[in-house]
Amino acid sequence: MKNGLGELALIERIRAGSTATEREGDSSIGHVGHSRARSLALGIGDDCAILRPPSGHEILVTTDFTLEGRHFRRDWHPPESVGHRTLARGLSDLAAMGARPQAAFLSLALPGDMLATRAGRTWVERFFTGLRALADRHGVPLAGGDTAESPCGLVLADIVLIGSAPSGRALRRSGGRPGDALYVTGALGGAASELAALQRSAAKPNSKPPRMPAPNRNASHPQTLPQPRIAVGRSLLRRRLANAAIDLSDGLSSDLAHLCRESGVGAEVFSAALPIHPLASQTSADRALHLALHGGEDYELLFSAPAALRVPRSMASVPITRIGRLVVGSSISLLDPAGRSTPLHPGGWEHFAKKQ
């Protein structure tokens, strides 16, 4: 490929960045480097990676697609955001089960001409900048994967996350019981609100390519920089606080339905108790409630705990809010401040479902 970057060269760049990251992790303070050295025996370079599962632990595996046009758009999302979100989706699944991340594997398909241009190569480099920054934060090495030419001219990424949890202790969706209190972490509706703002900005005449927002601890960019709640999930498991848990990727209404179905229970959600993200609060009250219930991609945790158990108001500096309860039966309802009940049907995202 003239003046371009071939597959082998791309793999070497990925490997070089991952090797440097692992070296930095091994020499850094705290548990991150120690965890990497302990969990990854062999990374990028051979036909397979070799992992060392901790003694007395089970291995948890999750995989997620990130598809251009479905999960991101290059004219809406900065490339660092795409890389960040690719990893965050899998990390959020591990968080929901209380797992410690062990390693990540990325398969990346790129348009055939993308590596032939400076702009295309820069996009890919910035993608990995975003992915590695989040990987560093959670101590998860990129241990392998694959690259290919995309047959459809779009960027396609598939992330596989490996985690571990003490044998028989991983949190599940199926442990909820009637009478349990329902809780969520963080705030809801922000990701959908920020996505709408990105769409409006891209639609303006002469709009410029999106820039990456500065990371911050206030989660003011829940769409471009979602924060998987790994520390909260591990704390819930370690302290035996949660009976059931799920991450909020498709929207509270849809993910609550998943949890209730697996647990064989119903639920009541108190509308006035829902923690609305400041970005969603900038709209009307009805719209804000809709975004909190159905918006999706907040990547917060929804969990149930025995009503008599004292659940802290925050864990790992993340607010925890009681939003309802599990009940006998299978119906899920929304209770307004006056106590009036209306059915709460799944209104979040579902692949292959017919859109009304």
What is the tens place of the pLDDT at every residue in 142-193? Answer: 999 999 999 999 999 999 999 999 999 999 999 999 999 999 999 999 999 9
**Token duo for residue 155:** 């960027």
- Whether 91 has a pLDDT exceeding 50, the answer reads yes
pLDDT in tens, 10-31: 556 655 665 544 544 432 222 3
Residue 353 has a pLDDT of: 53
Element (H, E) at 35: helix 31-39
d(CA 295, CA 310): 29
Nearest 5°: the CA angle 187, 135, 312 is: 35
Please give the single-letter amino acid code of residue 61.
Answer: V
Confidence of residue 280 (pLDDT cuts 50, 70, 90): very high
pLDDT in tens, 52-81: 888 999 999 999 999 999 899 999 999 999
Return the minimum-mean-pLDDT range out of 29-38, 211-220, 267-276, 277-286. Answer: 29-38
d(CA 111, CA 156): 9
* Among 86, 100, 126, CA closest to 297: 86
* Among 153, 161, 152, 175, CA closest to 264: 175
- Mean pLDDT, rounded, of the chain: 88
Which residues are 326's β-sheet partners? 267
Structural class in CATH, domain 7-166:
alpha beta
d(CA 69, CA 149): 17
d(CA 299, CA 297): 5
d(CA 63, CA 2): 35
d(CA 289, CA 271): 8
Structural class in CATH, domain 173-343:
alpha beta
* Among 100, 86, 159, CA closest to 129: 86
- Check: CB of residue 350 under 8 Å from CB of residue 254: yes
Provide the residue ranges of all domains of the chain, joining segments of one domain with +: 7-166, 173-343
Please give the single-letter amino acid code of residue 159.
Answer: I
- Whether 333 has a pLDDT exceeding 70, the answer reads yes
Q: Is 3 helix (H, G, I), strand (E, B) or coil?
A: coil
- Check: CB of residue 139 under 8 Å from CB of residue 96: no
Full-model pTM: 0.87
